[in-house]
Structure 1
Amino acid sequence: MELFLTAVSGLAWTVVYVVAIRTGFRERTYAMPVAALALNFAWETTYAVTAAMDGVSLQGVVNVVWAGADVAIIWTYLAYGRAELPGFVTRPMFAAWSVLVFGAGFAVQWLFLAHFGLHDATRNAAFLQNLLMSGLFIGVFAARGGARGQNLTLAVAKWLGTLAPTILFGVLEDSPFILGLGILCSVFDLVYIGLLLHARRGTPDRGPAPGPARVLDVPQ
């Protein structure tokens, strides 16, 4: 069961990344909130290295694949992200902000590792940043005034990719903390799926919100 749930999670999240890359290049935007992207990239690279120290494992291989996919998503953010921001944001400002966000992502992961140790840090950080991502996807939908740069397949895959480890760690391994975070992720993910279904049924996509509302895209 453990191998099956790990494989389901790995496959579903791989779908998330592939769809995010395709959507980003097709619609000339970034399909994953940048704060969540920074945390994910830091998590995957950090724990790909630690997993490699213990030999080859399924999760270690999955982490390497995800980290490679993240590089492509980061490229879409760097290529198209500045266009999402107000005109006063210069290239140097955008570059400095990006360095700060991705640097903070690594700092957070290493703080988790230092405080909780390898076993708990991987799980606690993964589920907390997953919950953050779930909320930020809804924020992206609101800030962009619709489903631009988003995808229903990605949303469903994210939900399933989180549900599998929630069952594994929260239920089978009896971790109330992980179970609670996983349930919250599912609630937010299902809300997001509902928003995308509503948009697909004909709700007009208003594009980027004018003025200050566009600033909401900055910390995602």
Structure 2
Amino acid sequence: MDLMLTLVSGIAWTVVYVEAIRVGLRDRTYAMPVAALALNFAWEATYAVLEFREGLSPQGVVNVVWATADVVIVWTYLRFGRAGLPGFVTRPLFAGWSALLFTTGFAVQWLFLAHFGMHDATRYSAFLQNLLMSGLFVAMYAARQGPQGQSLTIGVAKWLGTLAPTLLFGVIEDAPFILGLGILCSLFDLAYIGLLLRGPGGPVRSLPAPSR
């Protein structure tokens, strides 16, 4: 059961990342809220290295796949992200802000590691940032006034990809804190799916290219 839920989570989140790359390139934008992207990339890169230092494992392989996909999503943010910002955000300002954001993502992950140790840090940081991401997807839909750079596939796969480890760690391993966070993630994910199902139809327009 543990292996099955790990694989479900791995496959579902891989679908999220592949679809985020596809939609981001299609709409010339980034398809994951950037604060959550920074934390996710830092989590996956950090634990991919740590998992493989302890030996080959299914989760380690999954982390490498996720981190590799995240590199491409980060590129879509760096390539298209400035287009959605106010005109006073120059290239140097955007670069500096981005560097600070992604550096902070790694710092947060390493602080979790230092305080909780690897076993608890992987779970606590993952579910907390997952809850943040769930809320930010709803906020991104509102900010973009529709499904620009988003898709129902991302919403459903994210929900299933989070539900599987919620069952694994929250129910099977009897961790009430993780279970509570997982339930909250599901509530936001289902709300996001509802927005995508009931939102405005029609073709999605690309964001304008950033001015030089």
| TM-score interval, smaller chain | over 0.9
Distance 1:206-1:27 versus aligned 2 partners, 3 A rule: closer
Paired position in structure 1 for 2:126: 126
Paired position in structure 2 for 1:7: 7
SS at match of 1:48: helix
SS at match of 1:29: coil
| Structure 2 CA distance for aligned equivalents of residues 74 and 51 of structure 1 | 22
Residue 207 of structure 1: how far off its partner (Å): 8.8
1:102-138 per-residue CA deviation (whole Å, 9 max, x = no partner) reads 0000000000000000000000000000000000000
| Structure 1 CA distance for aligned equivalents of residues 53 and 72 of structure 2 | 25
Residue 186 of structure 1: how far off its partner (Å): 0.1
**Aligned pairs (5 A) from 1:1-220:** 1-199=1-199, 202=201
- How many residues align? The count is 207
SS at match of 1:182: helix
Query: Displaced runs of 4+ in structure 1, greater than 3 A?
Result: 202-208
Residue 151 of structure 1: how far off its partner (Å): 0.5
Residue 9 of structure 1: how far off its partner (Å): 0.1
Residue 30 of structure 1: how far off its partner (Å): 0.2
| Structure 2 CA distance for aligned equivalents of residues 44 and 111 of structure 1 | 15
Paired position in structure 2 for 1:212: none
Amino acid in structure 2 at the alignment position of 1:191: A
1:161-212 per-residue CA deviation (whole Å, 9 max, x = no partner) reads 0000000000000000000000000000000000000115x4897998xxxx
Give yes or no for contact 1:145–1:205 (8 Å, CA) kept in 2.
Answer: no
The two structures, once aligned, show a CA RMSD in angstroms of 1.5
| Structure 1 CA distance for aligned equivalents of residues 159 and 145 of structure 2 | 22
SS at match of 2:44: helix
